[in-house]
Structure formats: C-alpha cells, structure tokens
Chain A
C-alpha cells in the first residue's frame, strides 16, 4: 500500500533530533555524512550562494508555483529539532511530514524509499550533528488546487512504488551496491529517466530525459547515445574528476559531481559503473550522418572554425579535462539537442573537483551568433568526425534563447 509507512517503524520514536550526539556516535555520524553526500541533500536544502548549510529556503520553481525546501538542521523552532527518528524516516522514505501531510515529490522520496534502515539511521545521526541554524523558511504556497497536499496521494498511487531496496542474488555484491546507490541515494533516475505527462517515471530507465533547457543524457550502455563505448574506468573518471576522455560534466550534472559523486569511494564508483554498464541499453537508432556540403553544414563549419577550434580543436577532440571532445560524445548526439543549444548560448562550466580545480568555463555566445549560426554549429558538431544526429533548427535556438532570457545577436553597423 502506498500510504504504508510501517517500514519506518523500525526507527526510534522518542529521541528528538535536537539532542546532541555523544562521542560514541562518531562512527555513525561519519557514515551518515557519507550517505548525505551520496544523496546530495545539500542540493536542495541549502540556498544558493549561502553558507547556511541545510537550512532550507531554496526555491524550486515549478509550473505550479515555487516550492521552498525545508530547514533540516536540528533547530527547534525553524528546523527539525523536535522530530523523532521515525518522523525523519517517514519524511525521507515516504514523503510524509511530521503531521502526516504529504510532501511534494520535489523531495525525491520515490528514490530514497530504497535507503536501507542502517543508512537512514546513520543519516539521521549525521543530521543531529550539523549546526542548528535558526532560519524560518518561507511558506510554500502553490495556489489552488495544488496547495491541497492530498493530491499527492493520487500521484503516489500511480507512481510511488513503496518498495525497499531488494538485492538481486543472481548478481554480484558489487552490482548490488551499484544498484542501491543509483536507485537510492544518488537518485539518478530522477533526471535521467524520461517522465510521462504528469511527472511519473516512464519505463525507459536511464535512457535520457528533458529537463527544460537541459537534456540529461542516456546513461545506459547504448553505444550510440549512451555509455556503451566507455570503460568502467572512464565512467569512474567522469564521476570522480568531472571529466573523462570525451565528456566534461557541466550544467546540473557539474554540481552533482562537485557535491556528491566526486566524494564517493573508489569502490562505490566502480560499483556504479558496473551497474550502469549492465542496465538494459536504450537501443537508440543511429541516423545517417548529414552530408558536409549542405548549406547548414557549411555554415556550421565556418562558425565552428572561427569560434570554437581554439578550445575544441579542428578535429573536434577538445582539450583533455578542460574542453569536452565533441567527436564521439554520446550526450551530444541525443535526439534532444537542448544541452548543446543551451551551452552554446549561455556558456558552460566544467565540474569543480578536488582532482580538477580548474573547471574551465566556456563563454556565452548569445551575443555573437545568430539563431541560424548557433543552429548550424550545433548541427555541424552533431554530424562531423563520425558523429550522426538530427539537425538543429534556428527556431529551436530562438526558443531556447527566449527561455534563457539571453540577448539577441549584437547588431552590426
């Protein structure tokens, strides 16, 4: 049953979050910190440009209105200081607030439902150890009818699978660890699995999904648009360093790398790589490459040569760990070209990691290129050096430019 939170009854219902942990709790807190990093709580629960860690107040905008993340520090008045461990479990794994109200699935409880009891306990211990911050988060007011949280019950019935993590005994321990991390704490499907019209996961698991001006790529082992041609080590490099032989994490993924995946242990990263390389491949069909002599391709070549080769090279191979290779870059060839359009228009920055503090940024070209030129460049990249993908139109670029609120090409004389 979807509303059934009995799995959380294992958690203690007396000790309050505000109670300071003791020295004996140090090991649990350390483990819990790792779970928090793997789950990337700070992503939503810390405001932009703020040092008020986990104090909430981050406004997640939705077509229905803005949802503020909550203060999850142990502060009594404004945080979760008066919550018991069970309250905490029910919120994280089942989307229930302290009074039993439904949380909006901005909180990815449909992924966190898979967190084990042990990880949840450690996570709670960590939350008890963070600095309490007195910060009253603004009320979330979505407006009728979405302010009626009961509606979430219907959503839950359709899409929330109230199942804890189940090991697949036919697979290795390593695979299972990878499955747990990907399905649970790291909640990769939240971005990488395409959604249906009311926001539930479709069955195309990890096959890539549109997130407004971004496309979270296919991370199945498909050889064309996915990670099929990547070795396990190359997957690990991407998650740990923020880049590998071909790709540089940018946009929303850059942040996931910086705050979460770069801090995972090498063993856990390998487990993720092993798991990902074994999910069902998307079997995306590769089209024929567009011929280099079309008008759009020729324009694209000229634009690329004048504007891009200084970092991305005339052979499309980029600079290792600085500028992505465009040649053989699977994410670039997704049917949905949102990411490349967004990146050309507003620039992009590679993930900052301990191993790569440079995180070189690409400049914004909105002021310099017309919609035609940006579309031609994108089409050229997607179809050169052995690449093949659909053309990008000037209209798509124009729409993205408007959505991103970027200026038009600067006028000539």
Chain B
C-alpha cells in the first residue's frame, strides 16, 4: 500500500492514496488502482502554424473545399476560416489518417455494397491521391487547378463528385473521396476547437449547441424553450 509520506517536523510531503498491488504489471488485486494527476486527456492540440501531413497546396485546396462546403455568412465563419483544413491536416498525420483502428490484414477484394469498404488506402493516402487526381482532371477540363477555379465552378465540380459523375482515374473512388472530404470538413467544423477547427466555437454558436457542459439539471424546467446557452469548449479561457 502506498503510504502517506510526511515527516513530523519537516514539511516535505507527497500525496497519499490506497493503491492495490500493481507490482506485477497488469495484475490487479486488492483494490482499485488510482494515481493522482493522471487523466487520459485528448491528444495535444496542434502546434500553432506548420503542417504535419498536407503540403501547402493540398492544405489550400482542402481549405477551398471547406469554404464551398461551409461558406461564410452571418451565422458562422466559413469552413476554411473555422480551421477545417488545420483539423484535417492534424487528423491525417495521426492515427485516424493512418487507419490505425482499421483491419488491414489479408487480401483486399472488392465485395458487395453490404460488405463495405475493402480498400487498402488509408485516409491520408486517399487525400494525397485524390487531390492530385482532382487537380489533374481540372487541368484537363478547365486548364487550371481546383484551387484557381471560380467558386461557382468549384461548387459544380463538387456536385459532380457527389453524384459520382466525375472520373478521377482508376486509383480514386470519386464518391468515396467526396464522402471522406465532406465527413472530415464537417468534423473540423463541429468538433471541439482543441482539434484545430471550429474556431471560437463558430459552429456551436450557429446551431445552439452548448459544447463541453455536463450538468443540465437546472435547465430541466425549461424544456421546449429556446435556451441560449453560451457554449464552452474543453479549453476555454473566455469563461
């Protein structure tokens, strides 16, 4: 058992608790382990500035797509200004981008729609291949990269991708790429700002989501009413 550590006449002291026998790793007996100061925090947020996976051009392209998916208006920042591309860059550099949780053993064989994704491509790879293929297709069709097209044309191209009506070559499943982009941009827009997006909680203010709050008991008498709760996030120095 961990003892309280103190000295009668001296003031040095460290924390005490009752910890069971953990001398053999992963054998737990005699109590519930607990260590002070130990919390499984979210992954450390992005460094300010600098890209961890995307090239500058890819980053700008993703930013442009985010802006089309979520344009700026009086209700919120654009997806680009909200930081969706920063969010995506950090996600692609981490476990999500590298498909760490995904089963990637055995033969990759395309199956029925019900059998779901059977591709060896990780999200990070899809972005790299997909943006290159998109630019190539745009170059062929319009003589410019996606980034340089007008907003209207960008919207049109994205609609085509959504309908799977844009051929991006053998290696790129257009519809899958589109859904991936849309999903990740939404994640960047709507997740906690600690992950790099949703700047100033812009999306939560738009939809009226209170964010990182845990106790709504005092509001139960107000059911059915508009609540106007000021949102907060995991790290929030505006409190």
CB-CB under 8 A for A309 and B215, given A43-B3, A49-B1 = yes
B12 close to A412 (CB less than 8 A)? no
B48 close to A413 (CB less than 8 A)? yes
A412 close to B193 (CB less than 8 A)? yes
The yes or no answer to B84 lying at the interface (CB within 8 A) is no
Residues 37-88 (chain B) with a chain A CB within 8 angstroms = 37-39, 41, 44-46, 48, 83, 86
B22 close to A363 (CB less than 8 A)? no
B18 close to A352 (CB less than 8 A)? yes
A367 close to B4 (CB less than 8 A)? no
Of A79-87, A104-112, A327-335, which binds chain B?
A104-112
A110 close to B8 (CB less than 8 A)? yes
Q: Which residues of B contact A211 (CB under 8 A)?
A: 6, 11, 13
Q: Which residues of A contact B46 (CB under 8 A)?
A: 413
A interface residue count range (under 10 / 10 to 19 / 20 to 34 / 35 or more): 35 or more
The yes or no answer to A289 lying at the interface (CB within 8 A) is no
Q: Which residues of A contact B86 (CB under 8 A)?
A: 413
**Distance, CA A359 to CA B17, complexed state (A):** 11
B10 close to A259 (CB less than 8 A)? no
**Distance, CA A309 to CA B213, complexed state (A):** 10
Q: Which residues of B contact A191 (CB under 8 A)?
A: 6
**Distance, CA A191 to CA B32, complexed state (A):** 26
Q: Which residues of A contact B213 (CB under 8 A)?
A: 306
Residues of B within 8 A of A (CB-CB), count = 53
The yes or no answer to B14 lying at the interface (CB within 8 A) is yes
Nearest-neighbour CB distance to chain A for B65, whole angstroms, equals: 20
The yes or no answer to A46 lying at the interface (CB within 8 A) is yes
A404 (CB) vs chain B CBs: closest residue: B37
The yes or no answer to B126 lying at the interface (CB within 8 A) is no
Q: Which residues of B contact A314 (CB under 8 A)?
A: 215, 217-218
Nearest-neighbour CB distance to chain B for A156, whole angstroms, equals: 11
A58 close to B3 (CB less than 8 A)? yes
Q: Which residues of A contact B37 (CB under 8 A)?
A: 345-347, 364, 366, 404, 406
B9 close to A105 (CB less than 8 A)? yes
The yes or no answer to A136 lying at the interface (CB within 8 A) is no
Nearest-neighbour CB distance to chain B for A206, whole angstroms, equals: 15
CB-CB under 8 A for A368 and B19, given A61-B5, A413-B196 = no
Query: Could you name 22 residue pairs across A and B whose Cβ atoms are closer than 8 Å?
Result: A49-B1, A49-B21, A50-B1, A58-B3, A61-B5, A61-B12, A62-B12, A63-B12, A67-B7, A256-B4, A299-B239, A314-B217, A346-B36, A349-B34, A352-B32, A368-B234, A370-B237, A373-B239, A409-B237, A411-B44, A413-B46, A413-B196
The interface of chain B, by Cβ under 8 A from chain A, is: 1-23, 31-32, 34, 36-39, 41, 44-46, 48, 83, 86, 193-194, 196, 199, 212-215, 217-218, 232, 234-237, 239
The interface of chain A, by Cβ under 8 A from chain B, is: 42-44, 46-51, 58-64, 67, 105-106, 108, 110, 155, 159, 190-191, 195, 198-200, 210-214, 251-252, 254-256, 258-259, 299, 302-303, 305-306, 309-310, 314, 342, 345-349, 351-352, 359, 361, 363-364, 366-368, 370, 373, 404, 406, 409-413
